[in-house]
Amino acid sequence: MSEAFQIKSDPALWESLDMDVERFKAVPPALTEAFTAIFLSQQNRPTGMAYFDDMVSNIFTGRIEEIVAAGQEGRPVVGTFCVYVPEEIIQAANGVCIGLCGGSQGSIADAEKILPRNICPMVKSAFGFKVGRICPFFQAVDFVYGETTCDAKKKTWELLDQYVPTHVMEIPQMKRERDLRLWIEEVKDFKRAIEARVGKEISEHDLKKAIATLNAKREAMQRLNSLRHHDPSPISGRDMLLIQQIAFYDIPERFTAKVNELCDELQERIDQGSFAAAKGTPRLMVSGTPMALPNWKLHNIIEGAGAIVVNEESCIGTRYYKDTIATDGATMDDLLQKLTERYMQIDCSCFTPNDDRIDQVIKEYRESGAQGLIDYTLQFCHTYNIEAVKLREACAREGIPFMAIESDYSPEDVGQLQTRVEAFLEQVQE
Amino acid sequence: MSEAFQIKSDPALWESLDMDVERFKAVPPALTEAFTAIFLSQQNRPTGMAYFDDMVSNIFTGRIEEIVAAGQEGRPVVGTFCVYVPEEIIQAANGVCIGLCGGSQGSIADAEKILPRNICPMVKSAFGFKVGRICPFFQAVDFVYGETTCDAKKKTWELLDQYVPTHVMEIPQMKRERDLRLWIEEVKDFKRAIEARVGKEISEHDLKKAIATLNAKREAMQRLNSLRHHDPSPISGRDMLLIQQIAFYDIPERFTAKVNELCDELQERIDQGSFAAAKGTPRLMVSGTPMALPNWKLHNIIEGAGAIVVNEESCIGTRYYKDTIATDGATMDDLLQKLTERYMQIDCSCFTPNDDRIDQVIKEYRESGAQGLIDYTLQFCHTYNIEAVKLREACAREGIPFMAIESDYSPEDVGQLQTRVEAFLEQVQE
């Protein structure tokens, strides 16, 4: 299969999306090369990964065509940057929700023509994609819905609005009753914005159905992550990261079915003793900031060093799917309250205090059977970077080997990170 | 006078405050030297500056004794880091409000033993003061009241709480009716916290009187800044910055009286044609992040290059005093509503959108008779740094010469900043 794999190109489609086609043409071959090296070089992958590989192959073509077709049918196509924006409401309006977080070094220079250099690479990458017209997803959305979860994103949305209509949801900074009240109002605004786009109110039936759809998606991912925690793991950390990244741009129902198929296969592999890495392979958990597609840098370093990643406590990870929504709400207000309460359980470091996250990291560490924790912070992400102080203290109390890494998307620190990861693995195996 | 000037020392007092006395002993002589070079070298200063020089002379002794005495009388001594924490309420409880923002390189290394290096120097300096026990103000406060205005501060308060009791006020991120509702609740919490400390409710009478006291202080500073806008200016930018810094640790009534005395003198100087700089001296305005004592770096560079600073659009500047509070509230709820509405007019870049600030900068620029704008951002302050993009655009539209500077407290970039400021002055004078 690795001979045949190719990330497909469709210049005519990209042209129709007003992309910088000449420039973008270089992206699929480069990404094909990276994907082949990082993913297809792995031994004994589950056969169910074929679907997810195919999603990558079609990332700039087939999936874009589906999204464009949805737009042509009048369905809203909404871009988001954060797991706090409730996709159940987009789903209830029969819309398409696309996670637009940027994980590529290729668009950073575009962003830095406008934005300061010393802000988060994910924010710069996303902004650069739009400014440079080099992301077909960004070009295909009707509008984007940002939020206020960090300084860099909050202020960048003001500038992004000059390129694409950008709504902003205020996410409070604490989790008390008064914050919940404000938050519910924000969710209602979001619902109104989506309804205005489709010219139709979302019914309780629509929302309940959407909640069930997304609950099923999150439950499938919980199941997958739980199977993966088996020692030895039946699937690599790289493959798990990829699936969690694809969760942000695939069709929920289809994705859920494919994740459940993969789960069935992983269960069989466990029963048959077929694993992604041999018994005794060092097991590491990663916590912290999200790794947006195609940011595979740290996982590649860790697994290249002979370890396996067994959990991602991250927005592109467990924060996305650890909680579901109660569907027993009788009225729309009930449903929105329960929905908001579910979103309030997500424990991003933007909240203060945020000790629940520390507890959650320790809990996931225990469940995953990890032997060491690497806390990953995107460069200049102040909230995760400072919260790492408390996480380090908690790990010291719990006797958990801990290492903090701050990095961006550039290849410059790869050698240094390899050295640090190798030293950490020695410490873990002592 | 410059021969006699000395920042005084009192090791016994510092010992009683559990300071690292051995280490702190070196601070007053070093600060004496810096203050003498930067302030006392100026020609033709207003005689009214003697009071403010004296406040500097007593900064680690006489003023600390006053604060300690207030505490011994049972009065609350509250440390704050932000102009959003309403000092009227502390004043109403007969308390002492001390601004604890750090402006010194000397405590950065202490902070960096715990905090990440790549966050705001003001936050690191303040945190380092406490961790290193090298700030008598920090040692003298009962508790501190932080807020959520930026990622670095919000998360640092969680750690600071391990060293000194730290309350946090949630400042919303937008300015709509629902944000005002949340904000008023926060102000009420703050009032309750102060009342709990003194064991006594704040009456309407107390609060009205405190509002009048602080209004008078802010009005005196408005008057001072307005006189300073005269061309030529009767007072230097360095002296103005110093007065605005002292505003955060002096007794309000005394400070107001002294500012008004100085205003009377400045009016006389204007009438007599006695100025801080000759007619034709290039006039620059500074906007952006606050310059906490003893951060005199940029003003010293600008005025050392032969220009004069004629306005600070900053928290340690006009944002602190441009607005007053209506005192016609009939009930406590009325008063707190009006107080909160006043605080909501402060246009920190932590808000989104924040176009009112852009308008305010342009307005102050026109009023001050400046010939160029330097937007100053403390390193890694994402909100001001990104907002500078819009400010630059606005200045281009208005034909205002604009330069953005990002800096910290280290002396390393002084040479480079001098070169940039000199080049900007050439551009301004073309």
Q: Residue-wise pLDDT tens for chain A (430 aa)?
A: 445 799 999 999 999 999 999 999 999 999 999 999 999 999 999 999 999 999 999 999 999 999 999 999 999 999 999 999 999 999 999 999 999 999 999 999 999 999 999 999 999 999 999 999 999 999 999 999 999 999 999 999 999 999 999 999 999 999 999 999 999 999 999 999 999 999 999 999 999 999 999 999 999 999 999 999 999 999 999 999 999 999 999 999 999 999 999 999 999 999 999 999 999 999 999 999 999 999 999 999 999 999 999 999 999 999 999 999 998 878 999 999 999 999 999 999 999 999 999 999 999 999 999 999 999 999 999 999 999 999 999 999 999 999 999 999 999 999 999 999 999 999 999 8
Query: b/e string for B37-46 if b means 16 or more Cβ within 10 A?
Result: ebbbebeebb
The beta-carbon neighbor of A353 closest among B152, B158, B185 is B158
Tracing tokens 């190719």 back to the chain, one arrives at A6
pLDDT tens-digit series, residues B37-84: 999 999 999 999 999 999 999 999 999 999 999 999 999 999 999 999
Distance CA B403, CA B380 (A): 17
A146: which strand partners? A168
Neighbouring CB atoms inside 10 A of A18's CB total 9
Query: b/e string for B75-89 if b means 16 or more Cβ within 10 A?
Result: bbbbbbbbbbbbbbb
- Looking at chain B, how many residues does it have? 430
Report, in this order, helix, strand and coil percent for chain A, each rounded to 5: 55, 10, 35
Cβ pair B118:A154 closer than 8 A: no
DSSP-derived 3-state class of residue A118: coil
Q: DSSP H helical segments within B36-150, as ranges?
A: 49-57, 62-72, 87-92, 108-112, 121-131, 136-140
Give backbone dihedrals phi and psi of A192, rounded to 5 degrees, phi first: -60, -40
Q: Is A55 at the interface with chain B, CB within 8 A?
A: no
pLDDT given for residue A327 in this prediction: 85
pLDDT given for residue A313 in this prediction: 98
Contacts of B388 in chain A (CB under 8 A): 116
pLDDT given for residue B4 in this prediction: 79
A145: which strand partners? A80, A167
Contacts of B112 in chain A (CB under 8 A): none
Distance CA A204, CA A328 (A): 11
Of B346, B415, B413, B419, which Cα lies nearest the Cα of B377? B413
How would you classify the pairing of strands B372-378 and B308-313? unpaired
Q: Is the pTM of this model over 0.95?
A: yes
Distance CA B230, CA B370 (A): 10
pLDDT given for residue A2 in this prediction: 45
pLDDT given for residue A288 in this prediction: 98
Yes or no: say if B135 and B159 are a contact pair by the CB < 8 Å rule: no
The beta-carbon neighbor of B158 closest among A159, A168, A352 is A352
Per-residue pLDDT of chain B (430 residues; tens, 9 = 90+): 445 799 999 999 999 999 999 999 999 999 999 999 999 999 999 999 999 999 999 999 999 999 999 999 999 999 999 999 999 999 999 999 999 999 999 999 999 999 999 999 999 999 999 999 999 999 999 999 999 999 999 999 999 999 999 999 999 999 999 999 999 999 999 999 999 999 999 999 999 999 999 999 999 999 999 999 999 999 999 999 999 999 999 999 999 999 999 999 999 999 999 999 999 999 999 999 999 999 999 999 999 999 999 999 999 999 999 999 998 878 999 999 999 999 999 999 999 999 999 999 999 999 999 999 999 999 999 999 999 999 999 999 999 999 999 999 999 999 999 999 999 999 999 8
Query: What does the block give as tokens for A57?
Result: 């192959």
Contacts of B340 in chain A (CB under 8 A): none
Find the closest chain B residue to A380 by CA distance. B118
Q: Which ipTM was obtained for this model?
A: 0.97
Give the list of residues 6+ apart from residue A38 with CB closer than 8 angstroms, or none.
A238, A296, A300
Contacts of A379 in chain B (CB under 8 A): 118
Q: What are the angstrom distances between the C-alpha of A293 and each of A214, A262, B386?
A: 21, 21, 25
The beta-carbon neighbor of B178 closest among A115, A182, A352 is A182
Task: Please give, rounded to a whole number of angstroms, the shortest distance from the CA of B161 to a CA of chain A.
Answer: 11
Q: Is A182 at the interface with chain B, CB within 8 A?
A: yes
Distance CA A269, CA A421 (A): 29
A97: which strand partners? A78
pLDDT given for residue A1 in this prediction: 44
Positive or negative: CA dihedral B315, B318, B323, B324: positive
Distance CA B423, CA B430 (A): 11
Contacts of A349 in chain B (CB under 8 A): 155
Query: What does the block give as tokens for A56?
Result: 């990558």
Query: What does the block give as tokens for A408?
Result: 């961006």
